[in-house]
A and B are shown apart, each in its own frame.
Chain A
Amino acid sequence: MADVSPSGSPLVELKGISKRYGDLLANDGINLAIQPGEIHALLGENGAGKSTLVKILYGVIEPSAGQILWEGRPVSLSSPVEARALGLGMVFQHFSLFDELTVAENIAVALTDDWDLATVRSKLGDISRAYGLALEPDRAVWTLSAGERQRIEIVRCLLQNPRLLILDEPTSVLTPQEAEHLFVTLDKLSADGCAILYISHKLEEVRRLCRSATILRGGRVVASIDPRERSARDIAALMVGNEIGEVRTGTPHVPKGAMLTVSKLSMPAGGLHGQALEDINLVANAGEIVGIAGIAGNGQSELFAALSGERLADKADAVVIAGKTCGTIDIDNRRRLGAAFVPEERLGHAAAPTHRLSENTLISHAATEVSRSGFILLNAARRLATAIIKAFDVRTPNGDPQARKLSGGNLQKFVIGREIIRQPKLLIVDQPTWGVDAGAARLIRQALVDLAGEGSAVVVISQDLDELFEVADRMAVIHQGRLSAVKPVNEWTKEAVGLEMLGIAQTQGAVHAV
């Protein structure tokens, strides 16, 4: 259990860290030690307490109990500024960047000591060269890719010569190639003596990168292991607590004619920093799942909005659902044609956080059984919510709670269930299992596969390649608002998808050149 290292005392040691939120014990007596230069993995499912622990270590929140030792001395971290002064650096999963500011300004604002932009620029150059992190100082951040944005976060940390670098799910926004590039940088840093706390739920990367790992479940440490000595399956079992079955495909999907046809769909960028769609062509047949891969911010939300009718196309025939041209009709009328939609954001888009689940059924069922001639049928709405909760195993604190009271996984089961219970002929879902625990993810994927098995067309937009390879029959990749050719899943490899995600797979020659 104890990680006895010959190199002497640990750089940082957490002793009995607990954090309580009301009735919930998010962290429960956690012990963890990291040696200088060590790459230590923190593993666990969503909701296992990883983020809470890291926020405590970085001084964002204060623990209810427990102690942090830095080089053997007890320290009290009440703000990130103090944590940084001590030598901690953190790369957040959701970047803490300012879109309207330049790269150099974004770096300067996070530095504690005095600065001027010229110094920041020259230091930025040094770090970039040393670790292969290319960045242009005067670009506005909103023009950059996710990979480049992450580099800013890393450089921001490195400029302060950290002794411990914390990375929270760093590869979730990267292509496989960008991720490999990151690993090389991290190996270099570790060789230079910088300790790294690497938070992830992707087992393969942890096995590639780390020599020690701490596994959390339900707020407690359940194991401390060397990930290279255990199989990915073993580790997964430790994280989840019991074995997660695989998704049953059942009978192979038999496509039966087009339910959704998108042809020559183009749309200008919506917001200030949106992505325009260019010449999208796509067919989804009844009885199949079409997957759309891509790095976040390459037009997925825009494509979803164009398919759902939240934004209308110029031409009516750009989108055809169930044989009806509907590029210029709104979401309500598309629903009447038998289409159903699940957007990426659960809270605020798919569901209203402060509304009860019964009220939330109105969002996509307004035209159906829960209302009559403009009046709401409250009892019908409650019955519908109960039916969804039962059919999709949604765990709720009470009968009809507010949407925000549900965990991410349970709310996602609810919003997907809300659509599937209508037995749609076409379901379009954006990031179905983003930030959802493994159990809920499996249930959701199973529901999608079953829906297609019953003869509906399903379009799954996802950043999770593993998920797409598991459920999709055919797949395409979206990059900068353009969609690649749609090919059967078994004709794709992860490498080929990665190249498409980067937009460098235009020709066969390019593929071989990389």
Chain B
Amino acid sequence: MSTFEAILLTIVTASTPLLIAALGELVTERSGVLNLGVEGMMAMGAACSFAAAVTFNSTLLGVGAGIVAGTLMAALFAVVVLGFAANQVGSGLALTILGLGLSGLIGAPFVGARRDPVAPISIPGLSDLPVIGRLFFGQDLFVYASILLTIAVAYYLGRIRSGLTLRSIGENHTSAHALGLPVWRVRFLAILFGGACAGLAGAYLSLVYTRFWSPNMTAGRGWIALALVVFAAWRPGWALIGAYIFGAATVLQLHAQAAQFGVPSQLLSAVPYLATILALLLLSLRHGRALGAPGSLGTPFVPDR
């Protein structure tokens, strides 16, 4: 396998968690809720999945634990912002702080442990093709799942009735409520979906990407996923493209660090964060502000009387 192929492969691995987390947040935001707790839910997903996978020696159980952890964190957020109509920005931040702390507690006994790589699923015949073979047909299950998830979310939002309901609620919750659409129920489920995705993304980080646990290993990926949603103008297809651009930026800076160009490694490490700011800036320059943002994003829903 050439270096080039190896780089392409790692790009896919780096992009997949970003994509999964961004898709979850995209659905949450389309329902009108801004959950800034992605980073915390992802950290919990990573810690819990790793702990479960090591304890039970099962990747499957690990993934399940990651999803459950993300969903539970999201449920806590949902109770606070839907049940009490608390400020969404503050509550999301709190969720991130809580998730980072709690994941440290859960992961502490597992620092130093390592997991075996997850076997890629090769599609016979096709995966032997040169270059594109491994790239497209020799990935692990998560990668295929993330692509399917993108298609599913796009289809759901565009073609399925409950997807239309979800979009309507995110667009204008007052009108939706007047029509009798179940604002709270849909938002609750959308928040849970976002949490499950963030948990899954975290599980991928600790079980596939690094294969070990370390505190703060999410390193801002949850925040980048949030930025991706804005970058994608709330469209799943663009989230896919954006995730791969960011994944590529991350991987290329790692390779640049290894190659030792004489550039400080910290500067290269800052590339994904600077790239995020740049991407948001370029987007605003092209389209003006908040293109495609759901109409009631971030505003608590309290029906009049």
Q: Do chains A and B touch in the complex (CB under 8 A)?
A: yes
Please determine whether A99 and B172 come into contact, CB atoms closer than 8 angstroms: yes
Please state if B164 and A96 are interface contacts (CB–CB under 8 Å).
no
Chain A 95-129 interface residues, beta-carbon cutoff 8 Å to B:
95-101, 105, 108-110, 114-115
The answer, yes or no, to whether A59 is at the interface (CB within 8 Å) is yes
A-B contact pairs, 20 of them (CB 8 A): A21-B305, A60-B178, A80-B178, A80-B179, A81-B180, A84-B180, A95-B175, A96-B176, A96-B178, A97-B172, A98-B167, A98-B176, A99-B172, A101-B164, A101-B171, A105-B164, A108-B164, A109-B165, A109-B181, A114-B161
Chain B nearest CB, measured from A68 CB (Å) = 16
Which of A79, A97, A99, A101 is in CB contact (< 8 Å) with B180? A79
Contact call A108/B161, Cβ cutoff below 8 A: yes
Interface flag for B295 (CB, 8 Å)? yes
A interface: dominant SS = loop
Please pick, from B164, B165, B175, B181, the residue contacting A97 in the complex, using a CB distance under 8 A. Answer: B175
CB distance from B112 to the nearest CB of A (A): 51
B178 touches A101 (CB 8 A): no
Judge whether B168 is part of the interface by a CB distance below 8 angstroms.
yes
SS class, residues of chain B in contact with chain A: helix
**B residues adjacent to A (C-beta < 8 A):** 161, 164-165, 167-168, 171-172, 174-181, 295, 305
A179 within 8 A of B: no
- Give the residue name and chain of the A residue nearest to B292 (CB): A100
B175 touches A101 (CB 8 A): no
Question: How many A-B Cβ pairs are below 8 Å?
Answer: 50
Is B178 a contact partner of A92 (Cβ separation < 8 A)? yes
By the criterion CB–CB under 8 Å, are B168 and A101 in contact? yes
CA distance A281 to B186 in the complex (A): 50
Q: In the complex the two chains form, what is the Cα distance from A494 to B295 in whole Å? A: 37
Partner of A115, one of B161, B179, B181, B295: B161
Query: Is there an interface contact between A99 and B161, defined as CB atoms closer than 8 Å?
Result: no
Count contacts on A: residues with CB < 8 A to the other chain.
23
- List, in ascending order, chain A residues with CB within 8 A of B161's CB: 108, 114-115
Residues of A within 8 A of B174 (CB): 96
Contacts of A98 on B, CB cut-off 8 Å?
167-168, 171-172, 175-176, 295
**Least CB separation from A21: chain B residue:** B305
Evaluate contact between B180 and A61: CB separation under 8 angstroms: no
Indicate the member of B165, B167, B168 with the most A CB atoms within 10 Å. Answer: B168
Write out the residue numbers on chain B whose beta carbons fall within 8 Å of the beta carbon of A100.
171, 295
Residues of B within 8 A of A80 (CB): 178-180
**Bound CA span A115–B177, Å:** 20
Those of A44-101 within 8 Å (CB) of chain B: 59-61, 79-81, 83-84, 92, 95-101
- Chain B residues within an 8 Å CB radius of A109: 164-165, 168, 179, 181
Q: Which residues of A contact B172 (CB under 8 A)?
A: 96-99
- Complex CA gap A152/B82 in Å reads 30
Asked if B175 and A96 make an inter-chain contact with CB atoms under 8 angstroms apart, the answer reads yes
Measured between alpha carbons, how far is A110 from B161 in the docked complex, in Å? 10
Residues of A within 8 A of B305 (CB): 21, 61
Specify which chain B residues have a CB less than 8 angstroms from the CB of A59 in the assembled complex: 180
Which residues of B are found within 8 Å of A99, using beta-carbon distances? 171-172, 295
